[in-house]
A and B are shown apart, each in its own frame.
Chain A
Amino acid sequence: MDYGRSDAGARPAPAGPAADAAPSRRRPLALKVLIAGGFGVGKTTLVGSCSEIMPLRTEEHLTQASIGTDDLTGVEQKTRTTVVMDFGRIHINDDIVLYLFGTPGQERFWFLWDELAIGALGAVVMADTRRLADCFPSVDYFERRGTPFLVAVNCFFGEQRHPPEKVRDALDLDPHVPVVLCDARDRESSKHVLVTLVQHVMARRHRLTAGR
């Protein structure tokens, strides 16, 4: 049954030409890449430089975890909060679409990440060497989940204060995790980051298969 869970509990599909024709249509494969990192590190810029970009709003219930950081005393009614993510779409070919999700940087929205991370192809953790500690939580998160990721050091205005190897040491990264320098404003540079991520995903898969 091709329609998967959507049919569960629904009435049978209507008869007629459209119902018969739908399953034969080509279905795209949707791949998800997360763009993470601290506030103001250039996530929006990167998504916008290599794809069309749209803001995606979610309205979320504040969970217990997030309530800790929001003083809700006296406003018990307000249990929803709006989170805006950067959302980009890259048409690879007729069969494949790549979706980019700029993850909300604030830690109190981390409960949102889990849905984003399920089935993600990989993640780009953006780093600013002036505030390297801002990307620690993202690195931890993807390491813990086993999501393949790379670190992209956004070189603001050509500034590059630390070579990639220093960044790798400071973040205590696995030697396989790529560290690339980028200029998030530049399309070619952002494309290079994504290409490197996909190559990393592929190499990692080969390593895991070989190690079996």
Chain B
Amino acid sequence: MVRPYTLTGGRSHPVTTGLNLLTHVETLYAPEADLMGLQPEHREILDLARTATSLAELAARLDLPLGVVRVLVGDLLQANLVSTFEADAAVRAPDDDILRAVIDGLRAL
């Protein structure tokens, strides 16, 4: 058990801004040599984000505070090991078709 921000070397702000709860992170292809020097937590993120995964879900699955995951994802972005994209309603406002699909999907659960 280590204190969460030890993982980030005490940094509490990511190198990039704009990483929101639902920002999706996706691992980019990189040769193994580029992964040298990464912390285990960086590697875990790369592993989980092979399928685009939201920042909130990464934090929950890794059981790390959101702020820590923001910093770690920022590191990976800077190293060009991941890309991010916005997937929330701000990018694509849900129209009636989407809302109907949500209702159908919920009913089918």
Kindly list chain A residues whose C-beta atoms are within 8 Å of the C-beta of B67. 58-60
Contact indicator per residue, chain A 181-212, by CB within 8 Å of chain B (1) or not (0): 00000010001001100110110010000000
Cβ–Cβ contact A115 & B98, under 8 A: no
Does B103 belong to the interface (CB within 8 Å)?
yes
**A75 on the B face (CB < 8 A):** no
Residue of A nearest to B66 (CB): A58
CB-defined contacts of A27 to chain B, threshold 8 Å:
24, 52, 85, 87
* Interface of chain B residues 29 through 51 with chain A (CB within 8 A): 29-30
How far does the Cβ of B46 sit from chain A's closest Cβ, in whole Å?
Answer: 12
Task: Please tell me which one of the listed residues A4, A28, A119 contacts residue B52 in the complex, with CB atoms under 8 A apart.
Answer: A28
B102-A96 in contact (CB<8A): yes
Instruction: Report if A2 contacts B (CB, 8 A).
Output: yes
Number of chain B residues whose Cβ lies closer than 8 Å to a Cβ of chain A = 52
Q: Is the CB of B105 within 8 A of A56?
A: no
Interface of A is mostly: mixed
Q: Within the complex, which residue of A17, A32, A198 is in contact with B88, where a contact is CB–CB below 8 Å?
A: A32
A60 to chain B, nearest CB (A): 8
- Asked whether A132 is an interface residue with its Cβ less than 8 Å from the other chain, the reply is no
Q: Is A121's CB under 8 angstroms from B94's CB?
A: yes
**With contacts A6-B16, A19-B28 known, what are 18 further pairs, Cβ within 8 A?**
A5-B16, A6-B83, A7-B83, A27-B85, A29-B91, A29-B94, A30-B88, A31-B94, A55-B60, A56-B59, A57-B59, A57-B66, A59-B5, A87-B60, A92-B101, A92-B106, A96-B98, A96-B105
List the 7 shortest-distance A-B pairs measured between CB atoms, nearest first: A18-B29, A92-B105, A6-B84, A54-B60, A5-B18, A59-B65, A30-B87
